Amino acid sequence: MTILPTIASPADLKALPIDRLPDLAQEIRDTIIGKVTQSGGHLAPNLGVVELTIALHYVFDFGHDRLLFDVGHQCYPHKLLTGRQNMIAGLRTRDGMAGFPEPKESSYDLFSVGHAGTAISTAVGMARGDSLNGDAFDPAKNNKGRRVVSLIGDASIVNGVAMEGLNNAGTLNRQFLIVLNDNGMSISKPQGAMAAYFDRMRINPLYGGMKRRAKRMLNHVPGGSRVAEAYHRMTEAMKAGVAEHSWFENFGLLTVGPVDGHDLPSMIEFLSEIRDFDRPMVLHVKTVKGKGLDYAEKDATTFHSPAAHTYDPESCRVEIVSKGRSFTSAFADGLSRVMDADDKVVACTAAMPGGTGLDKVGAEHPERTFDVGICESHAMDMMAGMAKTGLKPFFAVYSTFLQRAFDQAFQEVSLQGLPVRLCLDRAGLVGGDGAVHHGFCDISILSALPDSVLMAAMDESSLNRALDFMAGWDRSLTSVRYPRDSVSERFAAEDSPEFVLGKARPLITFDTPDVALLGFGVMALSAADASDRLKPEIRANVYDARFAKPVDEELLGELLGAGVPVVTIEDHSIKGGFGTQVLEACNRLRLDARLVTRLALPDGWVYQNSRKQQLEEVGLDSASIASRVRELLAARPTGGADRQVEPRSVEPRVQS
Ligand SMILES: Cc1ncc(C[n+]2csc(CCOP(=O)(O)OP(=O)(O)O)c2C)c(N)n1
């Protein structure tokens, strides 16, 4: 490693001669591979953009110009070039480098992002802002102004938000560059008609026969259009790279490329040509996802964001470090079983077949499993349409991405009384992906929908019973949430009783309890462990709450009527979660809400770390739950608890 350590900022990069850049690219690759194989993280997306990132920083000045990442999972090379090499050792941990762009880390990162489709719109916003502030780059009037660049993948650019961004980008009368990183992949195969279109677009031989092509292109571009007007402003060299019949032309965006995103000298030459162009433009770049690591190139899906792993080049074997059976696997088997039993059941994912387990479901039920690409809103509406025809749709979606489809869940599903079933993976704290991916508010948003039935699974057998309940429920929207975790065996010997609307399941009961812990989902297991810790001084009953809507009113009546303090526990925001539903029930039933204490995620952001450490940080591990219950009971004057244990606050993240 000789060059990378000398790059403290992009200024050092710019000082290097172009012929040293391929070696730098190799060092960046080695650094990323070395780290991600040890600790997990995004691998293939980052390896694919090493040269592209170097070229962008070489040509632009992103200390001043604007660079916006879409999704942001491809930002590691950018972070290594912008003064954060010392942070990569702690990749995806609290005080180390976040796995996504993070403005708290560096002013080179403009937005904390992790959801797809946003970069063009935020870039349009910054472009308009800079223009209004008199701070926009303009080759004629303000060549000290800021240029705007967004980097977006071929699977993300077809997301609805990105389409809205494109529609607006084409109206800008200023420099605005969209770099389309086309690697022919989403996490798995990209879906939809656009994927086939991108596939047909082959790399243009850069500058080869350019002048000839330029002439031909001049005749091709439709006269009078915004694109034609822009075209005439281009240099001859740029004209040669213009894509014929580009789809983006319809948005008023001139497109150049496709160009080879791994050919550093050509990328630099090309970017230098278009850098100062005064109209919105798309640069279509072809890259190889996982470039430079044979097994990641061959299997970019597995190595999109792998866990820690080892590779034996002799046998070509890759061993991924795994830790037990995941909820995702349990869900896949559970849903397949439900589909075996009922041929009306259909399943859908929005670009996450591997992440949600639908790849397995799809292998068993190919005709009834759908991947719509990164289109959560469309998925929700498509499922509404399917439900209308009498099918029983199950939408397997990460809790955090469900947020993209809330309006559809409201109008097209809930208002129609359609039974779309939401299977919310990665609910609660998600670990290394951090604040951009926690499933922190699904209950808050879905509980506002009249008649919604909201559940959580604590283990595999309860997940199966929840899926059975959902298959049989035909009146309204239902959901079940489960975390990014492995399934617990603690209650595996006891077969989970069937789900009955609004009924909790007792797990540990004493004749005369001192306190009752109502755990929602896997928090019921943490509550059970906390109850063990509290014994024998404190007798803590434990219930698997199962339903956040409707909550078990009878149980609340019994417990609170007998003066037993109730502690609700959930890895969901304290705002509007299960505990809030319990408080509302108390209010409705005239029960003593002062006896209720809510342990939940605080009203603050939780940054990247392991899920275990995050739960400790917010006081939701079993040791913290036990000590908070002790604290609560100690503070309680005999006859009624009138002091609440406040949710833990989260320390602001250490700034570098
Ligand atoms: C709204 C939303 N849905 C799903 C995801 C999960 N996700 C992360 S990266 C990714 C694929 C992105 O593909 P592309 O934009 O082509 O970039 P690549 O990974 O191929 O570089 C997906 C589906 C997400 N981040 N945001």
pLDDT at 234: 83
Q: Are 458 and 522 in contact (CB under 8 A)?
A: yes
Question: Mean pLDDT over all residues of the chain?
Answer: 92
Query: Which residue from 23, 498, 532, 99 is spatially nearest to 264, judged by alpha carbons?
Result: 23
Per-residue pLDDT tens digits for 457-495: 999 999 999 999 999 999 999 999 999 999 999 999 988
Segment 552-595, tens digit of pLDDT: 999 999 999 999 999 999 999 999 999 999 999 999 999 999 99
For ligand 1, whether the C-beta of 374 sits within 6 Å is yes
Residue from 100, 187, 403, 433 whose mutation best tests the ligand 1 pocket (most atoms within 8 A of CB): 187
Q: Is the pLDDT of residue 226 over 80?
A: no
The closest alpha carbon to 68, from 141, 5, 132, 161, belongs to: 161
Q: How far, in Å, is the centroid of ligand 1 from the Cα of 607? A: 20
Task: Name the phi and psi angles at 471, rounded to 5.
Answer: -60, -35
- Please identify which of the residues 279, 286, 289, 648 carries the catalytic annotation: 289
pLDDT in tens, 410-455: 999 999 999 999 999 999 999 999 999 999 999 999 999 999 999 9
Asked if residue 84 has its Cβ within 6 Å of ligand 1, the reply is: no
Q: What type of residue sits at position 101? A: P
Residue 27 and residue 50 in contact, taking contact as beta carbons nearer than 8 Å: no
- Please give the distance, rounded to the nearest whole angstrom, from the Cα atom of residue 374 to the centre of ligand 1: 7
Least confident of 57-71, 117-131, 252-266: 252-266
Residue 656 has pLDDT above 60, yes or no: no
DSSP string covering 503-524: --EEEE--SS-SEEEEE-TTHH
Mean pLDDT of 263-281: 94
**Which helix (H) or strand (E) element contains residue 148?**
strand 148-153
Cβ-based neighbours of 122, under 8 Å, separated by 6 or more: 68, 110, 111, 150
* Residue 404 annotated to the active site: yes
Label each residue of 539-601 as H, E or C. Answer: CEEEEECCEEECCCHHHHHHHHHCCCCEEEEEEEECCCCHHHHHHHHHHHHCCCHHHEEEEEE
Q: Is the pLDDT of residue 15 over 80?
A: yes
pLDDT level of residue 240 (50, 70, 90 thresholds): confident
Q: Which of 374, 402, 404, 433 to mutate to test the pocket of ligand 1 (most atoms within 8 A of CB)?
A: 374
Q: How far is the CA of 394 from the centre of ligand 1 (A)?
A: 21
The response to whether residue 402 sits with its C-beta less than 6 Å from ligand 1 reads no
Atom 14 of ligand 1: nearest residue by CA position: 153
Structure tokens at 482: 């489960």
Segment holding 34, helix H or strand E: helix 21-39
CB 487 within 8 A of CB 326: yes
The confidence score (pLDDT) of residue 210 equals: 45
E-strand spans in 327-391?
Answer: 345-349, 369-371
Counting Cα atoms < 13 Å in the Cβ hemisphere of 95 gives: 3
**pLDDT exceeding 70 applies to what percent of the chain?**
92
Crossing angle of helices 327-341/460-472, nearest 10°?
40
Tell how far the Cα of 151 is from the centroid of ligand 1, in angstroms. 13
Which has more pLDDT, 653 or 116? 116
Residue 111 is given by DSSP the state S
Closest CA to 242 of 269, 266, 225, 221: 221
In contact, 382 and 412? CB cutoff 8 Å: no
Ligand 1 atom 23: the closest Cα is on which residue? 351
Please, what is the Cα angle at 258 between 255 and 264, to 5 degrees? 115
pLDDT over 70 at 180, yes or no: yes
Residues 64-73 have a mean pLDDT of 98
Give the mean pLDDT of 321-331: 90
Task: Please tell me if the CB atom of residue 647 comes closer than 6 angstroms to any atom of ligand 1.
Answer: no
Q: Is the CB of 182 under 6 A from ligand 1?
A: no
Q: At what angle do helices 264-274 and 21-39 cross, to 10 degrees?
A: 110
Residues counted in the chain: 656
376 is catalytic: yes
Give the pLDDT confidence score for residue 239 in this predicted structure.
Answer: 82
Say whether 289 is catalytic.
yes
pLDDT of residue 166: 96
End-to-end CA distance of the chain: 24
Share of the chain above pLDDT 90, in %: 82
Question: At 244, phi and psi to the nearest 5?
Answer: -75, 140
When pLDDT is averaged across residues 150-170 and rounded to a whole number, the result is 96
For the stretch 507-521, pLDDT in tens is 999 999 999 999 999
Minimum CA distance residue for ligand 1 atom 17? 153
Provide CB contacts within 8 A for 212, sequence distance 6+. none
Distance, in Å, from the CA atom of 418 to the CA atom of 434, rounded to the nearest integer, reads 33
How does residue 640 score in pLDDT terms, banded at 50, 70 and 90? very low
Interval between CA 356 and ligand 1 midpoint (Å) = 14
pLDDT at 222 over 70: no
**Burial per residue of 388-420, b for 16 or more beta-carbon CB atoms within 10 angstroms, e otherwise:** eeebbbbbbbbbbbbbbbbebbbebbbeeebbb
Position 32 scores a pLDDT of 97
